[in-house]
């Protein structure tokens, strides 16, 4: 298992092509735009070497028996699923942000069971391809980016109906040695500082869309692959200070990018689906359910930090003992723990798939993510309410350092006696950045926009069974 520093050093050996602010970035590892995200991912490596967290962050591979980082593991029990959620909350409590390994983790687990069932049904050999790749990932302790979301173009049209076929990643050539793919993947969390991207289809597909039914493992620095980094709220603050950033070491959210694949060659041993459109929907559903399971863990851990920072600001402001403040903090706690309960529940009710690997309860996984799209916004609103308006109007760190303006800012932004003004400003910046637009948008749209969970909730909830139970209790006979 790699340490955090070894992981960071491994990135220096990559030739990842990255663009940001209109320029190609030569040294992304040490660049202030990317380093916070890299530091956050490094925590997932370092905590695997801390004895206090060994039971959650490490596990023995069911393939090799070797001790591995849990982020490369295939769930072998509902206990594994529960430990995953606990691990995510714990790491989020340390970083206060997205640590990015979850998406690839979920892609690995979805592909393990789907490739097995695909082979059983169709007589293909993708599962062995995948197992061989998984062993490599475990042995090298690689970070994978789960690459599912396509740009989509005209959402009313199927992939094969698009005016531009590249709106969904698709196969453009098949050869004896492998395949060539083209297209792009959007909103790619952690892609900049990953080793591999795990390509998957983004929707269920029909026969006409079989060229789009493709899954494979692609090095992030493969020929034909390049990444365009996305803007984030207050991202330019990383270039000229520390205090204004809020969470200077680990950043906010996950460092997303648009990844372009311009005729990228993939050898057959790294291909896990190629034309088997019948299984695209299953792969999407399993990945999405695994990923939605996460949100009551990581978002609850992030909420723990927001709640703590909000309470500290209440103390700095001298209002912590007010009954309405206590009530708002209590509501924040209630909302956060509700998210956690749902993630634990969908994990505890996980089931074994035909491959032997475990899958979450998909209904409850979708419920937890649906709750996140609402509860996180309310937690952030309450944080703004308690913290006060100055979190949105603070002058810059440079103004505090200015000989003319600094003393006045030091005076007029002070709170209770005995608390340094800088401490109050630092805590305000943490709340501002953790509850800003980027964090809220990711909570709303990460792992699928709200309507996708509502579709899955109605599909998974077995309404007909509920109707039969009600009719039976009411004495209403079933119609034949």
Please compute, for residue 287, the number of CA atoms within 13 A of its CA located in the half-sphere on the CB side.
31
DSSP string, 367-387: HHHHHHHHHHHHHHHHHHHHH
Closest CA to 386 of 334, 431, 438: 431
Q: Which residues pair with 24 in a beta bridge?
A: 19
Strands (E), 332-473: 351-352, 358-359
Asked whether 72 and 136 are in contact (CB, 8 A), the reply is no
291 counts as catalytic: yes
Residue 274 is among the residues annotated as catalytic for this protein:
no
**Contacting residues for 18 by C-beta, under 8 A, at least 6 apart:** 24, 25, 28, 34, 192, 226, 227, 228, 229, 257
262 phi and psi, to 5 degrees?
-105, 90
Specify whether the CB–CB gap between 284 and 203 falls below 8 A: yes
Marked catalytic residue, from 276, 397, 432, 442: 442
CB atoms within 10 A of CB 63: 15
Kindly name the residue from 127, 129, 170, 291 that is annotated as catalytic: 291
Alpha-carbon distance of 213 to 2, in angstroms, equals 34
Q: Is 295 a catalytic residue?
A: yes
Which of the following is catalytic: 116, 196, 285, 298? 298
Set 16, 37, 102, 342: catalytic member = 102
The residue annotated as part of the active site, out of 98, 274, 346, 380, is 98
Q: HSE of 167 in the Cβ direction (CA atoms, 13 Å)?
A: 16
Q: Is 189 annotated as a binding residue?
A: yes
| Measured distance CA(174)–CA(171) in Å, rounded | 7
Give dist(CA 109, CA 30) in Å, integer. 32
The answer to whether 187 is a known catalytic residue is no
Alpha carbon distance 114, 220 (integer Å):
23
Of the residues 45, 227, 256, 285, only one is catalytic, namely: 256
Q: Which residues make up each annotated binding site? A: 189
Active site residues: 98, 102, 189, 256, 291, 295, 298, 442
Q: Which residues make up each annotated binding site for FAD? A: 189
């Amino acid at each position: 298992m790699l340490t955090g520093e070894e992981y960071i050093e491994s990135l220096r050996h990559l030739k990842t092509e990255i663009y940001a602010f209109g320029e190609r970035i030569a040294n992304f590892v040490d660049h202030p735009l990317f380093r916070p995200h890299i530091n956050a991912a490094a925590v997932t490596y370092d905590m695997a070497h801390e004895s206090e967290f060994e039971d959650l962050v490490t596990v023995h591979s069911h393939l090799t028996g070797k001790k591995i980082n849990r982020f490369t593991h295939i769930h072998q029990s509902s206990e594994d699923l529960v430990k995953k959620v606990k691990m995510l909350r714990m790491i989020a409590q340390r970083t206060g942000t997205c640590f990015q390994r979850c998406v690839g983790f979920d892609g690995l687990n979805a592909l393990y069971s789907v490739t097995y069932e695909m082979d059983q049904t169709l007589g293909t050999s993708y599962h062995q391809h995948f197992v061989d790749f998984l062993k490599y990932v475990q042995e090298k302790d690689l970070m994978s980016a789960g690459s599912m979301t396509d740009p989509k173009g005209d959402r009313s049209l199927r992939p094969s109906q698009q005016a531009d076929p590249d709106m969904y990643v698709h196969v453009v050539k098949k050869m004896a040695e492998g395949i060539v793919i083209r297209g792009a993947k959007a909103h790619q969390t952690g892609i900049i500082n990953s080793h591999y991207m795990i390509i998957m289809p983004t929707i269920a597909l029909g026969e006409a869309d079989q060229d789009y039914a493709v899954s494979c493992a692609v090095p992030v620095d493969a020929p034909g692959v390049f990444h365009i980094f996305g803007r984030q709220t207050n991202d330019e603050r990383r270039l000229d200070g520390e205090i204004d950033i809020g969470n200077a070491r680990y950043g906010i959210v996950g460092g997303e990018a648009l990844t372009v694949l311009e005729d990228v060659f993939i050898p057959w041993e790294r291909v896990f689906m190629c034309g088997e459109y019948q299984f695209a929907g299953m792969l999407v559903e399993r990945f999405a359910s695994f990923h939605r399971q996460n949100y009551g863990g990581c978002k609850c851990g992030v909420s723990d930090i927001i709640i703590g920072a909000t309470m500290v600001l209440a103390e700095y402001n001298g209002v912590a003992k007010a009954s309405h403040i206590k009530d708002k903090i209590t509501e924040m706690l209630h909302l956060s723990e509700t998210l956690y309960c749902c993630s634990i529940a969908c994990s505890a009710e996980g089931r074994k798939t035909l491959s032997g690997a475990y899958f979450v309860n998909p209904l409850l996984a979708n419920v937890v993510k649906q709750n996140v799209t609402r509860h996180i916004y309310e937690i952030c609103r309450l944080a703004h309410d308690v913290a006060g308006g100055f979190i949105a109007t603070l002058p810059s760190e440079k103004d505090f350092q200015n000989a003319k303006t600094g003393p006045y800012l030091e005076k007029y932004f002070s709170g209770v006696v005995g608390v340094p003004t800088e401490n109050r400003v630092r805590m305000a910046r943490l709340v501002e950045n953790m509850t800003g637009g980027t964090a809220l948008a990711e909570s709303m749209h990460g792992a699928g926009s709200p309507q996708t969970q509502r579709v899955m909730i109605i599909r998974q909830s077995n309404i007909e069974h509920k109707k039969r139970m009600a009719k039976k209790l009411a004495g209403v006979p079933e119609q034949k």
